Amino acid sequence: MKPTITIIGAGSVEFTRELLGDILSFPELGAVRVVLHDIDTERLETAEAIARATARAAGAQPEVVSTTDRRRALDGADYVINTIAVGGHTATVRDFEIPAKYGLNQTIADTIGVGGIFRGLRTFPVLAGIAEDMAQVCPDAWLLNYTNPMAMNVTYLHRVAPDLKVLGLCHSVYWTMVGLCELIDVPYDEVSYWSAGVNHQAWVLRWERGGQNLYPLLDERIAADPELQRRVRVDMYRRLGHYPTETSEHSSEYVPWYLHDPDEVQRLRLNVGEYVSISEANLAEYQRLRAELADTDTLPIDTGSTEYAPQVIHSLETGTPRVISANVVNAGLITNLPDGLAVEVPALLDSLGAHPMAVGDLPPQCAALNRSFLGPVDLTVRAAVEGDRRLVRAAAMVDPNTAATLSVDQIAELCDELTAAHGDLLPEPLRTHH
């Protein structure tokens, strides 16, 4: 039986292209059935053209189906890759512009913070629908989630669909390790590492080559480069002793120390509002790809799989063992973080599935930061599950960057304004009713 891989939100064409390039590069997966789903018909057509062009470039012969009917797309799936962005670019811009009026700086706004809270709230209703469809038409399938806010989405799915097999996948740990190895000029293939925490704020607990700790080499490299010291993650590493696994722009938003202070923003070369330009670049890239597809029927593929979903599928299908970083609900995996909320830990993949590994206690200073990150995660999920609007405000009040910048009255007003702006995208009980 050839596996069926369904991509929900396939209209994120650049990402769909990368995923399919990786999947179809595995000889064992050349004949998979790929089902593409999106609610935007033009983007769906583009995604289908990309799938076919990528298959030709890979010399693979998958069966490619595309449909705007989600339940049909999910019917009989073995793997469901979720890459949706509810509300698209418009909602993203809203998540930056409205808080900016209040003087609240954000950089990426997709994880915690008011941007993350409202991205989560507008994503949950769609996740609930996907989970419900899967329970009926593909109850044994794995849901491989890429959509942010990762920790909130994985926690929410656990609350509403506890039997669903969910892995949250993010490439931040992989790229952090690649970047660290480049900094100290050690080949990535020669190192082993152990990372754990929460998504976008995990910690490199061990990093070794041939049994030798590589952190001292990093210390030398940082000491020799004053510009390197002007980055948030390096600043956090020097103070906390463990390197965080997401970019400085991301990292700055999850702590109360940097973004509210213009001097710190300058010292650490932070690009406030960075994600708006990334989102605009994604739109431009989509148009460029559409134009390219008009002139060619193959697209070059970048082989050498680095994304996790293709590796998960390959390992589960072939039994090839691999270890990746995965987001799963904490059930005693990290002993000094609360159970029932999503954490990011190493997971072993094999033919039986994904096996998250127990990490034990994180260093106490790292766990303390992760706990404050999980406050908004927990409250945002509860706000949606319980239909309690007060908890939306509470989530923003305990958010580190928001609380360091705004008064409680401003936070309440900002939450009301974002609630009104996002309108029908939010869960029914949380909407503004006039």
pLDDT band at 265 (very low <50, low <70, confident <90, very high): very high
Average pLDDT over residues 410-422: 98
Helical segments of 9-149, H only: 13-25, 41-58, 70-74, 88-101, 113-137
pLDDT band at 262 (very low <50, low <70, confident <90, very high): very high
**Residue 37 maps to a domain:** no
- Please, which residues have CB within 8 angstroms of residue 50's CB and are 6 or more apart in sequence? 13, 16, 17, 20, 289, 293, 299
Task: Determine if the peptide bond prior to 226 is cis (ω within 30°).
Answer: no
pLDDT the model gives residue 277:
81
Whether 303 shows a pLDDT value over 80: the answer reads: no
The packing angle between helices 408-422 and 389-397, to 10°, is: 130
Q: Which of 86-90, 274-278, 333-337 has the highest mean pLDDT?
A: 333-337
The catalytic residue among 37, 89, 158, 171 is 171
**Residue 297 maps to a domain:** no
**Residue 201 maps to a domain:** yes
Nearest-angstrom CA–CA distance, 321 and 433: 52
Nearest-angstrom CA–CA distance, 115 and 260: 16
CATH number at residue 326: 3.90.1820.10
Known binding-site residue numbers for Mn(2+): 170, 200
**Residue 65 maps to a domain:** no
pLDDT the model gives residue 36:
97
140: three-class secondary structure by DSSP: coil
**Residue 337 maps to a domain:** yes
* Domain ranges, residue 341: 78-272+307-434
Whether 83 shows a pLDDT value over 90: the answer reads: yes
Tens digits of residue pLDDT in 341-372: 999 999 999 999 999 999 999 999 999 999 99
Tens digits of residue pLDDT in 42-72: 999 999 998 999 999 889 999 999 999 999 9
Known binding-site residue numbers: 148, 170, 200, 267
Token pair for 98: 């409205």
Whether 434 shows a pLDDT value over 70: the answer reads: no
pLDDT the model gives residue 292:
79
pLDDT band at 274 (very low <50, low <70, confident <90, very high): confident
Whether 304 shows a pLDDT value over 90: the answer reads: no
pLDDT band at 6 (very low <50, low <70, confident <90, very high): very high
pLDDT band at 281 (very low <50, low <70, confident <90, very high): confident
- 193 forms beta bridges with 207
pLDDT the model gives residue 291:
80
pLDDT band at 305 (very low <50, low <70, confident <90, very high): low
**Residue 295 maps to a domain:** no
Known binding-site residue numbers for substrate: 148, 267
pLDDT the model gives residue 345:
98
Tens digits of residue pLDDT in 368-392: 999 999 999 999 999 999 999 999 9
Average pLDDT over residues 274-287: 80
Nearest-angstrom CA–CA distance, 125 and 35: 22
State the burial class of residue 162 (Cβ atoms within 10 Å of its Cβ: 0-12, 13-18, 19+): exposed
- Tell me what percent of the residues of the chain surpass a pLDDT of 70: 98
Average pLDDT over residues 242-265: 96
Q: What is the per-residue burial (b if ≥16 Cβ within 10 Å, else e) of 170-191?
A: bebbbebbeebbebbebeeeeb
Place of tokens 């926690």: 155
Nearest-angstrom CA–CA distance, 290 and 69: 23
* Number of domains within the chain: 1
Whether 399 shows a pLDDT value over 60: the answer reads: yes
pLDDT the model gives residue 68:
96
Average pLDDT over residues 113-141: 98
pLDDT the model gives residue 284:
82
**Residue 422 maps to a domain:** yes
Question: pTM (2 decimals)?
Answer: 0.96
Is 171 considered catalytic here?
Answer: yes
Higher per-residue confidence, 274 vs 118: 118
Q: Among residues 326, 421, 344, which one has the least CA distance to residue 114? A: 421
